[in-house]
Chains A and B, each alone.
Chain A
Amino acid sequence: MAVDRFTIRGFGTAGVTTHDAEGVQFRRNVGQGEGAEEGDIDFNVDSLAGVQLEFELGSKVDLMLQGVSRLSADGSWGARMSQGFIRYSPDESLVMRVGRVGYDIYLLAESRQVGYSYLTVRPSPEFYGQITDDDIDGADISYTRRFGPGLIRARVFGGSGSGELGFADGTHRASKSNIYGSTFDYIYRGWTGRVAFVQFNYHSSEPLRQLAGALRFTGFPAAVAIADDLSQDSMKALGVQIGLAYDEGPMLAQVMYGAGNADSLTGPNFDKSYALFGYRWRKWTPFVAHAGSYDREPIHDAGLPAIPMLQPLNAAVEAVQAATRSTQHTTSLGVRYDFSSRVDFKLQFDRTRVRDSALNFDYRPPTSTGSAGPFDMNVIAATVDFVF
């Protein structure tokens, strides 16, 4: 098949980030293996670069390849293909994509990697920070049609995800899952309303199976019940998201609510909320945002007697639950300045109250490898975003 048109595009963010919480490393999502330390000027957390190649293979088919380099779960800068798919659009109503595709969970910025495309320095860690990667190896289909004065769009997607999780003890592991979902949007002029459903089926990992074996071996009924939970072949988590955005003229406003329900102790059960308001004045757009995430379930103990021999098992059961905690909330104030239609500068201040969350690394004594908190932190970041 001949290539009718070839386009190369790129994007990137150069950012500096600092905060004031002693013994804590700040990171923007659980896929980062290192975070910004107290008082340091960190260049890694909010920086990344990417390039995209698009090959038009006719009027209805094109091939898209996109690679991104950023801080990864092993603490180094790694490059990975974030998108690589064939897109077929037999008619403008219907678009099918097969390959590595981004799944559609961002209401106003469909990719969280392109800083230039959204107002804040980073997508909210509370709302999006537990997602390791926003792509799947699979397919999606979207259908759009006129409905009343606006447009209605439905999209279904499915495939396998292969994100990596970084942990405070320096280890990292793959988070293999099957991901299925659908989004329904209604778009009218500057308004977009969305309802989205995403189901994650996580595959059981070898360390969890070993922990389940040890718990079962104790013979205590409560521990055996937890062993049954941990040794499931897969854990299901269902996420629901409702959002409304307004983006017309100088004003941008967005509110979202999300809920997660998992069928295992190791999965997240949370409520999340997010609100953003920005107003452009010439090249300046000041903004304010608030995000919160709240775990619904307490951490369960292993149901074993408190004797030294069984203490490692009790701690391990609590640690696997702590790894998905995210109870914290952040208020952000910032401003974006558009130098040109390709480059912007952003300055953002965040006040975060962490109550029980694994989004950041907490190294305060006694050293923890699980969730962090309670503590308060002030984060300041300045970034330059560009696209070409």
Chain B
Amino acid sequence: MKRITLMILMFALVAPVFAAESNIVVIVNPQSGVEKLSKDEVIDIFLGRYRKLPGGRVALPIDVAESSSARARFYQMLVKKSSSEMSSYWARLVFSGQTSPPFQVPDAKTAIELVQSSPNAIAYVDRSALTADVKVVFELKE
């Protein structure tokens, strides 16, 4: 009984850490003038429907590599779609010449660097990868 109580206590202590690390945050450049985004606005920007930030600035969405777990979790939490479903979605738009998918970079570090250098850039990263010189405008919680 004592052992079970100890395990529950350990889990209770560790669980919030896991939860905090698994949250995904959407980030922009502090110069973008954007304070926060709604879920609908994030969906519209990353799904290529309407790439404008509040205030009128054109949004440049950034995807990390398809192999990244942050990317899979971001779209799963945002629109409940798997990688293959997102690929199918983009095939619809790309091959009909409507629009292009987000600009792809290899990792979160490059995504953050791009956001730091461009007031139009918008990316998503694990909260644990966050740096001080970008602004969080939306958070997806698991």
B64 CB to closest chain A CB, in angstroms?
14
A341–chain B nearest beta-carbon distance, Å: 4
Task: Verify if A363 is at the interface (C-beta below 8 Å from B).
Answer: no
| CA distance in complex: A327, B83 (Å) | 39
Question: How extensive is the interface on chain B, given as a class?
Answer: 20 to 34
Complex Cα distance, B40 from A102, in Å, reads 28
**Complexed CA–CA distance, A151 and B47 (Å):** 12
Cα–Cα distance between A190 and B79 once the two chains are bound (Å) = 8
Mostly helix, strand, loop or mixed at chain A's interface? strand
Q: Could you say which residues of chain B place their CB within 8 Å of the CB of A85?
A: 97
Q: State how many angstroms separate the Cβ of A84 from the closest Cβ of chain B.
A: 9
Q: Residue B93 at the A interface, CB < 8 A?
A: yes
Cβ–Cβ contact B87 & A92, under 8 A:
no
- Given A248-B80, A341-B66, A110:B49 Cβ within 8 A: no
Known contacts A54-B100, A92-B50, A340-B84; A114 and B92 CB within 8 A of each other:
yes
A102 to B100, CA, bound (A): 16
Within B84-136, the residues touching A (CB, 8 Å) are 84-89, 91-100
A50 within 8 A of B: yes
Least CB distance, B59 to chain A, in whole angstroms: 7
Contact indicator per residue, chain B 27-71, by CB within 8 Å of chain A (1) or not (0): 000000000000010011000011110000011000000100000
Tell me the nearest residue of chain A to B99, going by C-beta: A95
The 8 closest A-B CB pairs, nearest first, are A249-B80, A110-B96, A341-B87, A338-B84, A117-B91, A117-B92, A111-B96, A341-B84
A residues touching B (Cβ–Cβ < 8 Å)? 7, 9, 11, 50, 52, 54, 64, 66, 83, 85, 87, 91-93, 95, 97, 101-102, 104, 106, 108-111, 113-114, 116-118, 144-146, 149-151, 187-190, 248-250, 280, 283, 338, 340-342, 344, 387
Chain B residues near A (Cβ < 8 Å)? 40, 43-44, 49-52, 58-59, 66, 79-89, 91-100
